[in-house]
Amino acid sequence: MKHVYIETFGCQMNKADSEHMLGLLDEINYRFTEDIDKADLVLFNTCTIRESANHKFYSQLGCAGSKKKQRSKDGVTPPLLIGVSGCVAQDKKNWLQNNFPYVDIVLGTNNIHMLPEFVKKAERGERVCEIEDELPLELPELPVIRQTKITAWVNVILGCNFNCTYCIVPHVRGRERSRSPEDILREVKTLALEGFKEVTLLGQNVTAYGYDLDSNYSKEKATFGFIPINPQYSLGKLIRYIHDVEGIERIRFLTGHPFHVTDELIDTVSELPKACEYFHIPMQSGDNAILKSMARVYSVEKYKQMVEKIRTKMPNAAITSDFIVGFPGETEKQFLNTVKIVQEIEFDACNTAAYSPRPNTPSASWEKQVPEEEKNSRIRYLNSVVNEVLEKKNKKYLNTVQEILVEGRSTRDESKSMGRMRTNTIVNFDIVTYHGKPLPIGNLVSVKITKIRPWALYGEIKN
């Protein structure tokens, strides 16, 4: 029996890929270990969306390289194997092995199904670097070892047909490819049998699910704008298709694009009891000129119309978003338009980031790059505004009773348990027995909200 240690950087899709890589490695007798010193194989599943993620990866890779050298000095056999997968590997290819000679395996985002073969080669002392520019024609169904017992990540569409000028995803993840609804249904049924109560349908642009499966679709039409008339497949239809799987109580989806948030999707979420009223739709900027230079293909007005439609159908729906500050050319006034829209729309959560120029993206070479200290002061200010908005928003939950899916111990306070509302809001509550039994992780409980904070609520379990 051998052991694998895996370090996952970045988004939920990378987390889902890591769970598949663990499933594949388990089939060749590599068991997951959280202790890197016990590992025979160390795998880094990387992200390149921001420079900070790269830095963290390279420093950890250096540490793994030293461990490998030390082990061979101590005569430990077999030698420690080191592998790199994910978006840095897809982008950098064999540059990694040329610059880090102790890296045995480099594989990309489109060929994780080949990992067992690469590990076997590396065990024989070969160095492997194989990057595929496209996913295989038939998307392989992969074994999986899930890292949570609560909510399961289910990849439904890979890649993205947009060309946002700051984003490296289309370059490292390719064009949109949807899995068949039958494969997804099979996976969700298995999850229900394994006791999962919640599934999260994943895609860089999950709201375009199924359009590429349409009989009228073709590579030439692989652009964001291709929305079939009366689509045979769509995210709304997929949610309906998996909705009646017994045992699954909640269905979420992540991450959407305003261009593809259709009336059909909004109606589906408002009608189906298991579909959580939670829309994570990155807006990125509150200024039309900046949105144009980001090539986001919608305006502030269009985004607000989408919010209006959602809140008309579901007044308590959560709408969360992402914002980038300091995009090349962004003036103080344009930044303040972002601040204004955050206050006006009153999001339920906002992830904020300072613009980070990425290789192979158009905006990285543009003039008028905003100085770092200016970016940092804008991000600090926006974060303070976001906290004010969230604190104000969360006041409506005080003294209400909310349905919580219990996830386990709170990451912020070990003496408390935590879970999430249908709106994905985190709730912390005292650990007590529930109907005389230990707190049922993965189960739905009722909690009375007694205290609110910007990013989390606190409450008491209703026995």
Q: In angstroms, how far is CA 108 from the centroid of its own chain?
A: 17
User: Which one, 174 or 442, has the nearer CB to ligand SF4?
Assistant: 174
Relative to beta strand 198-202, strand 151-155 is parallel
Q: How far is the CB of 308 from ligand SF4 (least distance, A)?
A: 22
User: Which one, 117 or 322, has the nearer CB to ligand SF4?
Assistant: 322
Q: How far is the CB of 159 from ligand SF4 (least distance, A)?
A: 8
Q: Which of 179, 257, 378, 422: binder of ligand SF4 (CB under 6 A)?
A: 257
Which residues in 189-221 are b (16+ Cβ under 10 Å) and which e?
Answer: eebbeeebbbbbbbbbbbbbbbbbbbeebeeee
Which residues in 393-427 are b (16+ Cβ under 10 Å) and which e?
Answer: bbeebeeeebebbbbeebeeeeebbbbbbbbbbbb
d(C-alpha 330, C-alpha 370), whole Å: 7
Question: In this structure, how many other beta carbons lie within 10 angstroms of the beta carbon of residue 2?
Answer: 17
User: Which one, 169 or 307, has the nearer CB to ligand SF4?
Assistant: 169
Radius of gyration in angstroms for the set of CA atoms belonging to the chain, rounded to a whole number:
23
How many residues at the interface with ligand SF4, by CB under 6 A? 9
- Say if CB 447 and CB 463 are below 8 A apart: no
User: Which one, 10 or 181, has the nearer CB to ligand SF4?
Assistant: 10
Q: How far is the CB of 167 from ligand SF4 (least distance, A)?
A: 3
Q: Which of 22, 160, 318, 418: binder of ligand SF4 (CB under 6 A)?
A: 160
Q: How many helices (H) and strands (E) does the chain have?
A: 13, 19
User: Does 239 interact with ligand SF4 (rule: CB under 6 A)?
Assistant: no
Q: Which of 53, 80, 103, 169: binder of ligand SF4 (CB under 6 A)?
A: 169
Name the region of 340 (left: φ>0; alpha: ψ -120 to 50; beta: rest).
alpha
- DSSP run (H or E) holding 349: strand 349-354
Tokens of 60: 């950890």
Q: Burial, 281: exposed, middle or buried (Cβ in 10 Å; 0-12, 13-18, 19+)? A: buried
Helices (H), 272-331: 288-293, 300-313
- DSSP run (H or E) holding 376: helix 372-394
User: Which one, 12 or 94, has the nearer CB to ligand SF4?
Assistant: 12
Q: Which residues contact 42 (CB under 8 A, 6 or more apart)?
A: 4, 5, 6, 7, 36, 64, 67, 80, 81, 82, 83
d(C-alpha 13, C-alpha 158), whole Å: 9
User: Does 39 interact with ligand SF4 (rule: CB under 6 A)?
Assistant: no
Of 22-30, 60-68, 165-173, 395-403, which segment contacts ligand SF4 by CB under 6 A?
Answer: 165-173
User: Which one, 97 or 205, has the nearer CB to ligand SF4?
Assistant: 205
Tokens of 407: 């996830």
Q: Which of 83, 86, 108, 170: binder of ligand SF4 (CB under 6 A)?
A: 170
Q: How far is the CB of 127 from ligand SF4 (least distance, A)?
A: 31
User: Which one, 162 or 303, has the nearer CB to ligand SF4?
Assistant: 162
User: Which one, 205 or 423, has the nearer CB to ligand SF4?
Assistant: 205
User: Does 167 interact with ligand SF4 (rule: CB under 6 A)?
Assistant: yes
User: Which one, 212 or 407, has the nearer CB to ligand SF4?
Assistant: 212
198 to 217, contacts with ligand SF4 by CB under 6 A?
204-205
User: Does 164 interact with ligand SF4 (rule: CB under 6 A)?
Assistant: yes
User: Does 260 interact with ligand SF4 (rule: CB under 6 A)?
Assistant: no
User: Does 390 interact with ligand SF4 (rule: CB under 6 A)?
Assistant: no
User: Which one, 358 or 375, has the nearer CB to ligand SF4?
Assistant: 358
Q: How far is the CB of 172 from ligand SF4 (least distance, A)?
A: 10
Q: Which of 162, 217, 347, 397: binder of ligand SF4 (CB under 6 A)?
A: 162
Under the rule (CB under 6 A), what is the footprint of ligand SF4? 160, 162, 164, 167, 169-170, 204-205, 257
